Amino acid sequence: LAIRHVENNETSFLGTSEKVELITACCASRDRAFLALAEKCTSEARISIYDLRSGNSGPMKSLKPLGTTGRLLSLAFSAPVEGAGPRYLMASTTGAEATLVLMNWDAEKIMCKCKLPGSVDRLSFPSQPENLQVTASGPNMLRLMQIRHAKGEVSLRVLPAFSNLPEKKILDHSWLEGSRLVVIQESHIHIISAEELQVVRTIEAPFGEADLDEVTPL
């Protein structure tokens, strides 16, 4: 695995085990301090965590959230807490009904799991660490989940679908500042409010001849 610095063009390499057959997903923390790799090995699916600040080429931790079955398709770190780094790492499995796994990666502990009625290929946390929410999207679905703490237990509450958002041909999504998200479809870009659970603006034909300044409220 090669990592290239976009400013100085320096390239570094990270080592992987001979048991790794395929890297199925990767993500970096927002502060670029940690890198997570989802790996398909000969007998299991695992996540290797690298400390990019240490200069070591090997992983600092290896997590096995699925045991000996399944494959991981996407990963995401939560926003880093000042002086402590990201608290959570979330992973999703492949399949028509995705399983989401929320982990305290530093403690190597699975906090909770939940299922979504569709495939998931993108996970995203907001940029504020105190905003305990996470989103998951796939070609035909986008869902917002709240991370809840009660009586020493952690759970994921899946909220209803977003109003006015056609759940088809979704290519990607990401959090913006505050409670807004951007969702990219083949022919539209939507700005969504996580508080109101609805589309607030739409840009039509953003990759064609349309002017990106022509933003139409819905």
pLDDT digits (tens, 9 = 90+) for 150-200: 988 999 999 999 999 999 999 999 999 889 999 999 889 999 999 999 999
Residue 216 has pLDDT above 50, yes or no: no
Q: What distance lies between CA 207 and its chain's CA centroid?
A: 24
Instruction: Give the 3-state secondary structure of the chain.
Output: CEEECCCCCCEEECCCCCCEEEEEEEEECCCCCEEEEEEEECCCEEEEEEECCCCCCCCCEEECCCCCCCCEEEEEECCEECCCEECEEEEEECCCCEEEEEEECCCCEEEEEEEECCCCCEEECCCCCCCCEEEEEECCEEEEEEEEEECCEEEEEECCCCECCCCCCEEEEEECCCCEEEEEECCEEEEEECCCCEEEEEEECCCCCCCCCCCEEC
Residue 37 has pLDDT above 90, yes or no: yes
> What is the pTM (predicted TM-score) of this model?
0.87
Task: Name the least confident of 129-133, 169-173, 192-196, 207-211.
Answer: 207-211
Who's near 97: CB < 8 A, 6+ residues apart? 115, 116, 117, 118
Q: What is the pLDDT of residue 57?
A: 82
pLDDT digits (tens, 9 = 90+) for 119-128: 999 999 999 9
Cα separation values, 75 from 15, 164, 211, Å? 19, 27, 34
Q: What is the pLDDT of residue 65?
A: 84
Query: How high does pLDDT run on average in the chain?
Result: 88
